[in-house]
Amino acid sequence: MPVIPAPPGATHELPGTRFTSLATPSRGTVETSVWQVELDPGTESASHSLTREEVFVVLEGTAVVELDGERSTASAGDAIAVPAGPSFALANGGDGPLRMLCCLPVGGKAQIGAQDPFTPPWAQ
């Protein structure tokens, strides 16, 4: 089926963060996982690394990106390319919501510190 209907709302939640799985293996894709993430003002992700490249497209708001100790800012329309390997974190750098579209190849995993790599539930 080429059209995967959008879910009625967020499919996963963490404090200050909502994920909406759009195109994932559990929803019918084979090679690419795509989801939307929304961070409330003042929310920051845990620093983590990835086993595959991940791309974020900022839809609304301002993202503060820390990648391997280097900080940068992305605004609506900008893409953030996170390579496999180095640690990174994202934060909402504005006063309103930060909404991003995220793409990760199926099989990509996240790793927090020395924990075992895992596939985020919103990418499954």
| Cα(7)–Cα(73) distance, integer angstroms | 30
User: Domain span at residue 51?
Assistant: 12-107
Secondary structure (3-state) at 27 = helix
**Phi and psi torsions of 27, nearest 5°:** -110, 5
Q: Give a yes or no: residue 113 inside a domain.
A: no
Number of domains in the chain: 1
Q: Give a yes or no: residue 49 inside a domain.
A: yes
| Cα(90)–Cα(71) distance, integer angstroms | 10
CATH of the domain at 51: 2.60.120.10
Q: How many C-beta neighbours within 10 Å does residue 91 have?
A: 19
Q: Are 41 and 64 in contact (CB under 8 A)?
A: no
Q: Give a yes or no: residue 64 inside a domain.
A: yes
pLDDT tens, the chain, 124 aa long: 689 999 999 999 999 999 999 999 999 999 999 999 999 999 999 999 999 999 999 999 999 999 988 999 999 999 999 999 999 999 999 999 999 999 999 999 999 999 999 999 999 9
Q: Give a yes or no: residue 78 inside a domain.
A: yes
